[in-house]
Amino acid sequence: MGLTINQIRDNTTRARHLMQRSRQQHFAVGAFNIDNQETLIAIAQAAQKLNAPVLVEVSDGEAKALGLDNIRDMVDNYKAQYGIEMYINLDHSPTVEDCKRAIDVGFEFIHIDISQANHDATTEDIIEKTREVVEYARFTGALVESEPHYFGGSSNVHTEDIDYEEIKKTFSTPEGTKSFVDATGIDTYAAAIGNLHGKYPVPKELDLELLQRIRDAIECQISLHGGSGTPLHYFEEAARIGVSKININSDMRYAFRTELEKVLAANPDEYAVVKLMPQVYGAVQTVVEEKINAFGSAGKAVI
């Protein structure tokens, strides 16, 4: 149906208050990707059960598959049905135009990532286009997130080991972070401290000492992308240091896919898909609950 500008601004004000609470109370909010309605149900049920605030997020491909207006309506419907605190994040959007469309629809969180489409984008180009989104977002109050360079990996299940010597070349630095934040005016900085998109055969290792130095260098929010496959103690410490948002995707996709395969194998003669899905999104809900507890956001919702 669409939201009025006053409704959008009310939502973004609440979203900003949530980010402020996360800093004051030392918890992080989970940003969980959705591929479909079943995954959204899993997130909503986990948020209700644990009384936790959550972000539902969509990447460029997911946004195009589901439609920005449809995503807005579905999230609003489930938010009302379950009585939960839930917002929408546009994740790794590669163009200014797509960000503007999501802002117009009423997304509360916008991640502009010019290097997603062009890995060789210059810092100057990234800053210029990020600032354009920041300026446009002022009309609704949407929170804008960005980073100064390409963030590696992909939201999938990988078989190769992690080459940390290569990854360290793209780690954030306190000086570079402050310079980028000052130049763009973003609300949230996507830090690179060993986090990496995707699920790997070995656990990820986060440089928490570097994270602390980045936290000390800037006043805005900090996010961690590539949270899947990360030992939970890193999340607990990151929230204590001052990370406000942590993205999870591949762990959920893995749970969805593997559980779906089990359900299909156990029910070869069942063709009513609606009867097969509760067990599947139940498995995804378990993943979401695990992350919420590690992030320290259980019991932090304000309805």
Please pick, among 10, 60, 91, 216, the residue that the annotation labels catalytic: 91
By the 8 A CB rule, do 83 and 303 touch?
Answer: yes
- Containing 245, the helix (H) or strand (E) segment is strand 245-248
Is 186 within 8 Å of 145 (Cβ atoms)?
yes
Q: What is the DSSP letter of 207?
A: -
91 among known catalytic residues: yes
CA 56/CA 277 separation, integer angstroms: 20
| CA angle (56, 74, 45) in 5-degree steps | 60
- Distance separating the N- and C-terminal Cα atoms of the chain: 22
Helix, strand or coil, per DSSP, at residue 16: helix
Please give the structure tokens belonging to residue 102: 């999501």
How far is 233 from 240, CA to CA, in rounded Å? 11
Local structure of 14: helix, strand or coil = helix
> What does 86-148 look like in DSSP terms, one character per residue?
EEEEEEEE--HHHHHHHHHHT-SEEEE-HHHH-TT--HHHHHHHHHHHHHHHTTTT-EEEE-S
Active site residues: 91
